[in-house]
Amino acid sequence: MNSPTSPPGDATSERVPLTRQRVLAAALRLVDDEGLDALTRRRLGQELGRDAMTLYRHAPDKAALLDGIVELVLDELDIPDGGQDWQTQLARTAHDFRRLALAHPHVLGLIVTRPLATPLGLRPLGTLRPLERLLAVLTDAGFAPALALKVYRLYIGFLHGHLLTELQELVADPEETIDLLRLGLHRLPPREFPLLRSLATELATYDGAAELDQGLAVLFAGLESQLVAVTDRG
């Protein structure tokens, strides 16, 4: 059987059934390789070796393609089941989310912004499953459902913010050994940006995984106190 990843336009690709999963996988590869602007129906058709019109059955418009890509990535998110304390579960989930964000940096912006245009109940189910599973983790740990929702908002807000910040830590010249030059900070006016320029070494040695753990520790300490207070009142 021929591989679904046959070269664009290859005659063998015509004999491979076109499915929604295959269309979305090709769309994700295109976005990973070239960014969101490269994702057009015509270009995707070329990648699949098909006429662009044949894609309508699986993705009627670009919005459906974008939602499908988000679902495809979130479906890879590993949210540990029971058997561990809630802090370990959330920490492991955070690091797996970071893994996905670094593997698909162009998709992270979609994960953060796509929901802004769609009411919660109308969003693709694949984008809501992580929310449902994390709420289950928290309620199983003893958080009341309403409090679990607040905890989720704090947690996911921190996680999104951390990863968006980490992905902005771009290196201008990886061959340069002087941190100020490596990050391109020498281009900033010294009088206007003295603090930012002085932090070149700290910026150049940024450890995203370690910073994530430190932030989670602070967040969990505050949430633990709320859980203890609720338990004491009960």
- Intrachain domains 17-60 and 79-232 with the same fold: no
Total residue length of the chain: 234
Sign of torsion over alpha carbons 204, 208, 212, 214: negative
Other CB atoms within a 10 A radius of the CB of residue 7 amount to 10
Closest CA to 163 of 218, 108, 233, 86: 108
Other CB atoms within a 10 A radius of the CB of residue 63 amount to 12
Domain 17-60 class in CATH: mainly alpha
Closest CA to 130 of 86, 67, 73: 73
User: What is the full per-residue pLDDT of the chain (234 aa) written as tens digits?
Assistant: 334 444 455 444 556 788 999 999 999 999 999 999 999 999 999 999 998 888 888 888 888 899 999 999 999 999 988 777 999 999 999 999 999 999 999 999 999 988 777 788 888 899 999 999 999 999 999 999 999 999 999 999 999 999 999 988 777 777 888 988 888 988 999 999 999 999 999 888 889 999 999 999 999 999 988 887 766 666
Q: Domain ranges in the chain?
A: 17-60, 79-232
**pLDDT for position 15:** 63
**pLDDT for position 148:** 95
**pLDDT tens, position by position, 64-88:** 899 999 999 999 999 988 777 999 9
Could you tell me the pTM of the whole model? 0.83
Decide: 65 and 135 in contact? Cβ < 8 Å: no
Other CB atoms within a 10 A radius of the CB of residue 4 amount to 15
CATH number attached to the domain at 79-232: 1.10.357.10
**pLDDT tens, position by position, 119-154:** 888 888 999 999 999 999 999 999 999 999 999 999
**pLDDT for position 233:** 67
The gap from C-alpha 167 to its chain's centroid, in whole angstroms, comes to 11
